[in-house]
Amino acid sequence: MRTLLMALLTLAALAAPPPGPEAFAMARPGYAFTFPRDHGSHPAFRTEWWYFTGHLWTADGTRRFGYQLTFFRQASPPSPWKGLPAWRSDQLHLAHAALTDEAGRRILVDERLDRAGLLAGASETGLEVFQQDWTVAQDASGILQLHMTVRGATLDLTLKATTPPVIFGEDGVSRKGADPSAASHYITFPRLQAQGSLRLPEGDTLAVQGLGWMDHEFSSNQLSPDQVGWDWAGIQLRDGRSFMVYRLRRGDGSQDPFSTLAEVDARGRIRRSTGTFTLAAGGSWRSPASGATYPLPLRLEAWGESFSLVPILLDQELRTGRSTGITYWEGACRVLDGAGREVGEAYVELTGYAHSLKGRF
């Protein structure tokens, strides 16, 4: 799912009210994916994001970190007014970065907002996206290089996919609601072998390694008017399986029937479910900063298995007051099986708890 709302609210703040999705290309069944081109930007669609998360450890295993780097592209139709300066691009770019330090009991967060041009952009021919000095690029062999800085920390990673890209949904389309236009094209690398270096704000430089996740979605309309938020998780089990799950929440608290769970095996093969899983609260945590109460840990039950997604640090709430005013929870979690054994890692996103997203986009 990703925090699409960030880009949409930014557009509302900087320009006239955005046009309806009919002004842009729509996610339609039968889309023919071509790589590496479809890892790049799709300006005919209104909204797009590239989302990178993962868990990292030092070589001796004594320190653990989580990271998030998300790039958003948001389009508006060309202005009918003539004579506007050339820098008035119709493409807005927004990026979020976060680093969770388990031992340090802290999360470092930063955010950026720019129009397309010298400070931000994305290639249309392959995966190469940047926002100021935050960058991700894929070379001809498929290896990704990630660089981000956040509050005095610097992270450099080399990421290598263990499977071909996975396409979520049916016939190339990931549905998010009853309206056929509420859909996206959704590409994922569910397991990225990560290796690199992390320089902490205090000056220490650590060699790190671990496992990452990449989501890439593009669409022109995502959610239905009665949906107020979502719970999303990318789960990586140590037996080689991965899960992507999102629960779309209605205003009355019920789960929208277009909520989805997908299991990806070690070879990239997908098993999908829309009605035979539950993603529910296994507890609760109230943010002292926002007052929002989040369903943490989360509990997933599906296909006769159950897992608890337990945060490595409870306070991984992001409050993006400098750009959008949206507050949400996004963080690194342990995955425990029904017997309480640690069997994997996850990243979790929870939106619509500090305030409803209804009517926002």
pTM, full prediction:
0.91
The mean pLDDT value of the chain amounts to 88
10 band by pLDDT with thresholds 50, 70 and 90? very low
- 3-state secondary structure at position 322: coil
**Mind listing the pLDDT tens digit for each residue in 309-351?**
999 999 999 987 666 667 899 999 999 999 999 999 999 999 9
Distance CA 25, CA 4 (A): 17
> Looking at domain 4-16+35-350, which of 2.60.40.420, 3.40.50.10490, 2.40.370.10, 1.10.287.3510 is its CATH number?
2.40.370.10
More confident site: 354 or 170: 170
R_g of the chain, CA atoms, integer Å: 19
At a CB cut-off of 8 Å and minimum separation 6, what does 319 contact? 289, 290, 327
Q: Supply the pLDDT for residue 358.
A: 56
- CA-wise closest residue to 322 among 2, 30, 57, 6: 6
Percent share of the chain, pLDDT over 70: 87
Predicted confidence (pLDDT) at residue 260 exceeds the cutoff of 50: yes
Between the alpha carbon of residue 26 and those of residues 7, 50, 73, 115, 238, the distances in Å are: 18, 18, 16, 23, 37
Q: Supply the pLDDT for residue 14.
A: 43
**Mind listing the pLDDT tens digit for each residue in 120-130?**
999 999 999 99
Distance CA 42, CA 219 (A): 9
| Contact in structure between 266 and 243 (CB atoms under 8 Å) | no
Percent share of the chain, pLDDT over 90: 73
Q: Supply the pLDDT for residue 222.
A: 67
| Mean pLDDT across 132-151 | 98
**Mind listing the pLDDT tens digit for each residue in 264-297?**
999 999 999 887 899 999 999 999 999 999 999 9
SS (HEC) of 224-264: CCCEEEEEEEEEEECCCCEEEEEEEEECCCCECCCCEEEEE
Between the alpha carbon of residue 262 and those of residues 40, 275, 303, 342, the distances in Å are: 24, 12, 11, 21
Predicted confidence (pLDDT) at residue 18 exceeds the cutoff of 50: no
- Domain parsing of the chain, residue ranges: 4-16+35-350
Predicted confidence (pLDDT) at residue 304 exceeds the cutoff of 70: yes
